[in-house]
Amino acid sequence: MKQELTRIVPMIRRFAYSLTGSYADADDLLQSTVEKILSKPVPEDAELSQWAFRICRNLWIDEFRARKIRQHDQIEETEVDSTDLAPEQTHQSSANVKQIHAAMDVLPADQRSIISLVAIQGMSYKEVASTLSVPVGTVMSRLARARASLSQYLKHQLGEASYE
């Protein structure tokens, strides 16, 4: 199991980063995932990598929900001042990466995890369905909606950028 876990850790880290959009948060999520894997026996009918992705996704959903609640409470307590934001002084490629991360943040959790597993991890629809315990048709429809949402968001962002 140690060799298999060592093999899949980079894949889980990429998946965690695709979910969180932050290297620090991805590393925290990876650590939590590995701790959970090591604290429980792998189910007999589960492949370690698929089980690990499922654990990672579930931990992220729990954290995402908790952050949403904390953020909502914090917004009620303080007023957000948009003048604190510094103008971007980065290259075009960095701006594109930020646009993609922003677009991914707009997606619902179920769509984000599926597009991450398909586009970043290179999993087949069948593997994603097995990993997330959903039908293949659900994977396909969520992926289609995620791609359409990303496309629409990026087109909208590019349209606004051309007017600035």
**Domain range summary for the chain, segments of one domain joined by +:** 1-83, 86-164
Q: What is the mean pLDDT of the chain?
A: 78
Measured CA to CA, the distance from residue 147 to residue 61 in angstroms comes to: 20
**Span 35-70, pLDDT tens digits:** 999 998 888 888 888 899 999 998 988 877 666 665
> If we measure between CA atoms, which residue out of 59, 52, 39, 64 comes closest to residue 10?
52
pTM for the complete prediction? 0.55
Give the architecture (CATH level 2) of 86-164. Orthogonal Bundle (1.10)
Architecture of domain 1-83: Orthogonal Bundle (1.10)
Rounded distance between C-alpha atoms, residue 116 and residue 60, angstroms: 13
Residue 23 CA to residue 16 CA, distance in Å, equals 9
């606004």: which residue's tokens? 160
pLDDT band at 115 (very low <50, low <70, confident <90, very high): confident
Buried b or exposed e, range 127-157, using 16+ CB within 10 angstroms:
bbbbbbeeeeebbeebbebbeebbeebeeee
Instruction: Label residue 94 by pLDDT band (50, 70, 90).
Output: low
